Amino acid sequence: MGLNTPGDEAKGKITSHLAGTGEYDLVARWAGGNNAGHTVFKDGEKYKTHLVPSGVFYGIPSLVGPGCVLHPESFQGELDYLSDNGFDTSLVKVHPNCHIVTEEHISSDKKNLASKLGTTSRGIAPVYAAKAARSGILAKEVLSKNLLWDSELQGRILCEGAQGFWLDIDHGNYPYVTSSVTLPYGACSIGFPPQKIRNIYGAAKIYDTRSGEDPLFPSSLLDDPFLKRLANLGKEYGVTTGRRRKVQWLDVERLIQSINITGATHVIISKCDVIDELGIYKVLDEKEIELKDLNDLLNHVRSRLVEDCPLVEEITFSYSPETI
């Protein structure tokens, strides 16, 4: 799951790495729809997905869970894309209770929410609203039988989140949030008790980014020359929308808060190579602090997490978009 920024923290890279270890029998997505985007590298090739879990890249059954929402045409397009690239899409199944995004939901999103809140215009908020109002449409009412999940959960399950902690509908900067639970307890919606959760992998970046509207990330950030260069070096554009992301220095206090609330046991902080290429090593930690070099920056972050995040067992700093 994402920790420091509202999405965009290399979750695709991390879930792909974990799926590729051969330790899992099922990869299951627990929330969101095709408003999320994951970038996965496999055998040197880059692939982009929006709803299909990363197990499909490794021959592992992949489930779109009941807490997700699905636009059938977009989902079929993603299956075709994966099939055209040689992956076995018969492994991908949808839970019968997953809710269906309709064209009316998309139209409502574009008309009422996109310009106001910076949504992805994918109909996500309206379909979750319909779900809460008991007027939604379930996958089992729409999708063909061969696409529906009809098995029992068993074995070792890798649960794949979407978006990040600060987009969570309960803990984010409401109303500038997504419409689902992004925290790891949401994974239990797949159909297992919380006692079964072993490890919680938290994805972060060494700097913060934000797609869409959020007063905590004002548009003035786009005009800062150093942050602008950082955004260009990091190729900070949304996988789903292609929008330019607003960039800010890493807020260490907010990162600590998200780690402690989620219970993350393993923290992977990516794009260390990008900030090293920029050559400016700043964090926000009560105030803006500039460190001497990358080593000092990473040591500062590590020491703060070790001191204030008692549940963390392992901290990894990543320097590549392809591997951890």
Give the residue ranges of DSSP H helices in 103-219.
103-112, 114-117, 124-132
Is residue 143 a contact partner of residue 72, using CB atoms and an 8 Å limit? yes
Is residue 213 a contact partner of residue 117, using CB atoms and an 8 Å limit? yes
SS3 (DSSP) at 80: helix
> What's CA 10's distance to the chain center, in Å?
8
- Among the options 17, 38, 50, 71, which is catalytic? 38
Can 38 be counted among the known catalytic residues? Answer: yes
Residue 147 phi/psi, 5-degree rounding, is -95, -10
First to last CA, the chain: 15
Tokens representing 128 are 């979750």
SS3 (DSSP) at 162: coil
Neighbours of 300 (CB within 10 A): 17
Can 8 be counted among the known catalytic residues? Answer: yes
> 301: burial class by Cβ within 10 Å (0-12, 13-18, 19+)?
buried
- CA distance linking residue 66 with residue 96, whole number of Å: 7
What are the C-alpha distances in Å from 89 to residues 2, 23, 80, 85, 100? Answer: 26, 20, 8, 10, 20
Is residue 305 a contact partner of residue 312, using CB atoms and an 8 Å limit? yes
Catalytic residues: 8, 38
